[in-house]
């Protein structure tokens, strides 16, 4: 008897009909030449994935999981050895010639390429000619997408492989804290933080920075929160700092906010980050450690964007307590982060587990409120981006 699908046949058929209608609508939009927004693309991908999930059997799921890590390994090796880079952008090349170009064994190069041919990432013509597809070309050069592949394989995969032995040693409990993280333990340096490990290797930092740039459109720099009230209040006290961007890296968020808000002068704003980050920034700058007293007192707004997810609850309470202590009664703290739904979406659940390797986590709004209240802060509002799970969570001082 054939193995059953995950749903009874009638229910599966009904779901497939609904999904087929959605795919027909998407095909119509494509045929008319309508531009596809990121939201439309994500919706189409989810529809296709849901279609597969309706009919997949457990054995299919297992096969997909194994295919995914083999494909990731094949691409990583071919990228590392510049095999994809040495393939012509258009046209074909023989496996023999390709192996000679990179100084590799023809049999090995052929077998790795064959896997990507089998998955449709490369295409083969005849018995020994291989060519790029639109899916493989991004991995033929150094760019944000190929950098993200390296980050996943080189930085996160070793931590995931280390998880069984890590939890055997530390117990089955949520990783927390910067020290003795999964990542640091996997690298044999549990006494160091993930940041200390990374900054000891400039090439890894550069690759991480490049990879993160591929995610910028998921986390808008501006357009989520209305800063017009800050501009309106600028003349009430000409000496008062308007915005402090805590952990603001190179200052792109401040630039975007001031650009979209008439009357908000960037000269009245302060950019703060670790000294090694500040070295390459170009704003009114202050080197800072999150875990020390906040040096700028009484600013109208303190922004901490995409930082808290790197830290445990206890560490977040400490960070927020320093910010709360610097705030005036009319100050606002803006936390720019992914806010998890319950249950979370597929991408955010993945990122949450990636963050667990460094002792961090994504949070629901309840999770943010829990740490904020312990730091003397009260929720004032939640401002959602137009798409995705990114929000600006606004707090005032109790």
Q: Residues with catalytic annotation?
A: 309
CB 254 within 8 A of CB 304: no
Distance of CA 331 to the CA centre of its chain: 29
Cα 109 from Cα 141, distance rounded (Å): 18
CB 241 within 8 A of CB 267: no
Phi first, then psi: give them for residue 33, nearest 5 degrees.
80, 15
Mode of pairing for the β-strands spanning 332-340 and 301-305: parallel
CA–CA separation, 23 and 211 (whole Å): 32
Q: Phi/psi of residue 241, each to 5°?
A: -70, 135
Residues in the chain, overall count: 398
Q: How many CA atoms lie within 13 A of 132 on its CB side?
A: 18
Cβ atoms 331, 271 nearer than 8 A: no
CB-CB contact of 176 with 318 (8 Å) = no
Positive or negative, the CA dihedral 104, 110, 112, 117 is positive
CB atoms within 10 A of CB 364: 13
Minimal CA–CA distance to 221: which of 246, 253, 244, 249? Answer: 253
- Contact present, 345 and 315 (Cβ < 8 Å): no
In 112-230, the DSSP E strands lie at 122-125, 129-132
Q: Are 332 and 395 in contact (CB under 8 A)?
A: yes
Contact 12, 55 (CB under 8 A): yes
């Amino acid at each position: 008897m054939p193995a059953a699908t995950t749903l009874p046949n009638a229910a599966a058929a009904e779901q497939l009909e609904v999904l087929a209608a959605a795919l027909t609508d998407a095909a119509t939009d494509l045929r008319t030449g309508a531009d596809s927004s990121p939201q439309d693309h994500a919706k189409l991908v989810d529809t296709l994935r849901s279609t597969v999930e309706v009919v997949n059997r457990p054995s299919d799921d297992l096969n997909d999981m194994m295919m995914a890590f083999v494909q990731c390994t094949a691409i990583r090796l071919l990228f590392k050895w510049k095999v994809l880079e040495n393939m012509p952008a258009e046209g074909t090349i023989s496996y023999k010639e390709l192996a000679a170009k990179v100084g590799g064994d023809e049999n090995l190069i052929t077998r790795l390429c064959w896997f990507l041919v089998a998955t449709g990432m490369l295409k083969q013509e005849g018995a020994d000619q291989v060519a790029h597809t639109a899916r493989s070309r991004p991995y033929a050069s150094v760019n944000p997408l190929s950098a993200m592949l390296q980050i996943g394989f080189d930085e996160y995969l070793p931590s995931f492989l280390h998880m069984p032995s890590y939890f055997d040693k530390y117990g089955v409990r949520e990783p927390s804290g910067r020290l003795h993280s999964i990542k640091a333990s996997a690298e044999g340096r549990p006494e160091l933080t993930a940041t200390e490990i990374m900054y000891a290797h400039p090439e890894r930092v550069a690759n991480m920075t490049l990879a993160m740039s591929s995610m910028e459109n998921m986390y808008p720099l501006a357009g989520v929160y209305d800063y017009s009230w800050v501009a309106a209040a600028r003349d009430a006290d000409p000496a008062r700092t308007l915005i402090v961007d805590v952990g603001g890296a190179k200052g792109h968020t401040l630039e975007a906010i001031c650009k979209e808000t008439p009357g908000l002068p960037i000269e009245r704003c302060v950019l703060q980050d670790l000294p090694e980050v500040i070295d390459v920034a170009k704003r009114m700058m202050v080197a800072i450690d999150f875990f020390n007293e906040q040096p700028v007192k009484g600013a109208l707004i303190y922004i901490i964007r995409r930082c808290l997810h790197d830290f445990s609850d206890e560490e977040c309470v400490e960070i927020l307590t320093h910010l709360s202590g610097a705030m005036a009664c009319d100050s606002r703290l803006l936390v720019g982060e992914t806010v998890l739904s319950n249950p979370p979406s597929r991408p955010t659940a993945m990122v949450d587990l990636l963050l667990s390797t460094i002792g961090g986590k994504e949070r629901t709004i309840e999770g943010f409120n829990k740490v904020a209240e312990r730091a003397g802060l009260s929720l004032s509002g939640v401002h959602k981006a137009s798409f995705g799970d990114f929000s600006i969570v606004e707090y005032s001082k109790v």
